[in-house]
Amino acid sequence: MRKVLTLGFISLALLNVDAIAAQTLNPINYASGQIAYTNSNIVVDAVKAPAVKGSLLVENGKITQILPPETQIPAGYQQVNLNNRYVVPGFIDAHIHLAQSASAYTRPDIIDATKIQSYQLDQAWLNQHRQNLLSDYLKVGITAVVDLGGPSGKLKHYADAAKLQPSPDIYAAAELISTAAVPELEHEGHTFLAVSSAKEALAAVKMQVGLPIQVVKFVWTDEAGHSPEQLFTIYANAMQYARKAGKIVAVHVEDLAYAKMAIKAHANILVHGVMTAPVDDEFIALAKQHQVVYLPTLTAYNHYRDIFKQQLSFSVQELALTDHTIIESFEQLKLRHADTAPMFQMLTKYLPYVDDIQAQSTLKPQEQAIVAQLSQLFSEQIALYQQQNLRRVLEAGVAVAIGTDAGNPGTVHGSAMLGEAQAWLDAGISIQQVIHAMTQGNARAYHIDQSLGSLTSGKDATFSVYDTNPVSDSFTTMAPNLVVVRGNIALTNEE
């Protein structure tokens, strides 16, 4: 006898508060048995092909096949009628930090507001609300995340959280290997693991590859005064060791010369991308030769700049999906500005002068020098370089991935991906390319494309269902009606 389950979906054209309130996070365990998702439009490849009409067959949490319309469903399958809705592979956020809450207090090394709230209290809140933050990813169709660095002592907590339903899959790195220590973030372990020699870098990697991680991350910038060549000497052997151990090597870069040298040291992924200058032909050639993945973060940088200019705002989606504690922290940052550290007060005083030549002329020479230094970090030109470079690498055929850097102040967990995707669209990237990056691009970047990234036979039954086609309509204002993770219905949007 056929078993038919018809889910009563709310028809949503726009993501709004009522729609979010209707989302149910009580999971239904379909990870075992046979399920047929019938009467559906299946987005197999966002770039190369239109949606395919048919039925998606799932057995024991794996996709078995896509049946054409009108084809009889094999006996024994329970049927879920999707009522002509669209099925897309689960999205992946390729760059988050679960050890950061996204509040104003979560990076005291950058925003010192510890007189308002301590870093320890921020971390305690984060530990208590981790599962809620993870469920926020499901609400926007994100079914897997990659944590790109934090204390290794938290890895077990992440693994335990991922086993609970509902939760996205979690892939992770341990401490960020860097030549500069960040003592302000040393709570429940190091966030940045400082090394000063090739021997120390190799020892750090040897320690990390024995942990339950998929990624080893290096910071390839000049904070400690090292040149690109000096960092090559320190990191190259350690990076090679990590790759031979089967780990993905992700490298934080910002400047062109440093990015080129990181590629020569055999980075797999360039995190953040080149921000301070246009990429050139040599960079493109190196990236293609070494099959490097380019992973920019367009919005996280803007969030920091907006915080320092005291004009940070949140979208309707972010306000609806983000815990009010996070939003309120930035109101407190404004109200209690006098309680912040002198460096933050200096930034908020002078950053509004960056890119405003006329206003700069009213400043004293010493103040103009401060603004000139800030311009190297926070000019709007940096955002333009980021957009320009993303277009250039895509047009050149360099592999790309998309991530948010969620957890950093103002870059909220889950819904920040909607803003990042919109930033890609604003940069001139097609919606097909954006969704491809969020699915196949991210899966390939982390070598998890055998199980995630597309809806084909043998892969995990991990997908989201939308009323209309997100490949042709702007999914940045859409909410999924149904989210399935490895066969489990993790979220429904029911009347």
Q: At what angle do helices 380-396 and 281-289 cross, to 10 degrees?
A: 50
Question: What does the H/E/C string look like for the chain?
Answer: CCEEEECCECCCCCCCHHHHHHEECCCECCCCCEEEEEEEEECCCCCCCCCEEEEEEEECCEEEEEECCCCCCCCCCEEEEEEEEEEEECEEEEEECCCCCCCCCCCCCCCCCCCCCCHHHHHHHHHHHHHHHHHHHHCCCEEEEEECCCCHHHHHHHHHHHHCCCCCEEEEECCEEECCCCHHHCCCCCCEEECCCHHHHHHHHHHHCCCCCCEEEEECCCCCCCCHHHHHHHHHHHHHHHHHCCCEEEEECCCHHHHHHHHHCCCCEEEECCCCCCCCHHHHHHHHHCCCEEEECHHHHHHHHHHHCCCCCCCHHHHHHCCHHHHHHHHHHHHCHHHCCHHHHHHHHHHHHCCCHHHHCCCCHHHHHHHHHHHHHHCHHHHHHHHHHHHHHHHHCCEECCCCCECECCCCCCCHHHHHHHHHHHCCCCHHHHHHHHHHHHHHHCCCCCCCCCCCCCCECCEEEECCCCCCCCHHHCCCCEEEECCEEEEEEEC
pLDDT at 151: 97
pLDDT at 18: 47
Answer yes or no: are the C-beta atoms of 129 and 178 closer than 8 Å. Answer: no
Answer yes or no: are the C-beta atoms of 415 and 321 closer than 8 Å. Answer: yes
pLDDT at 164: 82
Domains, the chain: 3-90+453-493 (2.30.40.10), 92-303+379-445 (3.20.20.140)
Residue keyed to tokens 């070494």: 290
pLDDT at 271: 98
- Separation between Cα atoms, residue 425 and residue 438, nearest integer Å: 13
Answer yes or no: are the C-beta atoms of 172 and 217 closer than 8 Å. Answer: no
- Separation between Cα atoms, residue 93 and residue 97, nearest integer Å: 11
pLDDT at 16: 43
pLDDT at 20: 47
pLDDT at 5: 37
pLDDT string in tens for the chain (495-residue length): 333 333 333 222 334 444 444 555 555 566 668 999 999 999 988 777 789 999 999 999 999 999 999 899 999 999 999 999 999 999 999 999 999 999 999 999 999 999 999 999 999 999 999 999 999 999 999 999 999 999 999 999 999 998 887 899 999 999 999 999 999 999 889 999 999 999 999 999 999 999 999 999 999 999 889 999 999 999 999 999 999 999 999 999 999 999 999 999 999 999 999 999 999 999 999 999 999 999 999 999 999 999 999 999 999 999 999 999 999 999 999 999 999 999 999 999 999 999 999 999 999 999 999 999 999 999 999 999 999 999 999 999 999 999 999 999 999 999 999 999 999 999 999 999 999 999 999 999 999 999 999 999 999 999 999 999 998 767 888 999 999 999 999 999 764
